[in-house]
Structures are given as structure tokens and as C-alpha cells.
Amino acid sequence: MSHSRHQARIDYSEYGKLAPEITAGLMTLSKAVDASGMEKSLTELIKVRVSQINSCAFCLQYHLNLARGLEIDEAKLDMLPVWRESSHYSARERAALAWAEALTLIANKPVGDDVYSELQGQFSETEITFLSASIGTINFWNRLGGALGFTPPARAKR
């Protein structure tokens, strides 16, 4: 079974025309997270990592472009697939990345109390709520982009 596709099943711009209410709803969720005060650099790291796990080329490139625009340390982006073995991440970033992976892979394994306890040590309940919403939103986008084969945007120029 081949995973390579050279043509989108439904183009991203076309999806927006077919389902504007869904697109608007997802954008509203993202704007709520941004307005909550969560660090944009942290939520972009999470979106990149979740998109890597879900193999969504569109979302991965889109959020790498945003992360680079925020001037997130290149080493953090490079080492993201192996963040547990890297010294580039703060305790807060590690807790968020562990939470993001646990929520993304919840169908395979229930979220453990240890992951939540680590999260509580770094985030308030309000922050956990918004972080969880951000993770849920990128998972939804990944399922759309991956299944429908959205064509990745061009890589941002540096």
C-alpha cells in the first residue's frame, strides 16, 4: 500500500469553500487559545509535534512556517521527534509535549496520571484547558489534511 499522493483529494482552499462553518469553527478555537495568553511558541511546538505523529504534511509544513516566523530555536524544531532525549526543552515544554502525545495517541493507550501530574506541575487548570483544546484542534486538522491530502504550503523563506 502506497502512502504517496501527488494530488490532493480535496484541496485546502476548496475545503474552505465546501465547509466554511467547520473552517470558521476551527479557526475560532485557535483564536481562543491565542487569546488565552498561552505562549504562541509553545502551541506551535505542540502543533508541529502532533502533525509529525499524525503524518499530516500540510499541517506540518504550515506550522513549521509559523514556528520559524516566531523564531523558535531551530534546534528545538530539529530535535522535536526525539524531544525526550534532547536538552533543548524546558520542563514546561516537556510537560506540554508529553500531554500532546498522550492526547494524540489516546486510542492506543489511556492518558496516565503521571502525565497529568507532570502537566499540573507546569500549568494552571485554565492553561491545561486551553492547551488541551489546542491539541484537539490540531488533531482534527491533521485528520482532515492527512485524509484529504491537502497540498502542503511552500516552505517559508528565511
Residue 148 CA to its chain's centroid (Å): 18
Give the mean pLDDT of the chain.
94
Task: Please give the model's pTM, rounded to 2 decimal places.
Answer: 0.93
pLDDT (0 to 100) of residue 5: 54
Q: What is the pLDDT of residues 137-147, one digit of tens each?
A: 999 999 999 99
- For the chain, how many residues are written? 158
C-alpha cell of residue 67: 514556528
Number of H helices, E strands in the chain: 8, 0
- Express each pLDDT in 7-22 by its tens digit: 899 999 999 999 999 9
DSSP character at residue 94: H
Residue 124 pLDDT: 98
What SS3 class is residue 58? helix
pLDDT for the residue 3? 54
Residues 6 or more apart whose CB falls under 8 angstroms from that of 12 comprise 58, 145, 150, 151
Segment 44-83, tens digit of pLDDT: 999 999 999 999 999 999 999 999 999 999 999 999 999 9
CATH number of 28-147: 1.20.1290.10
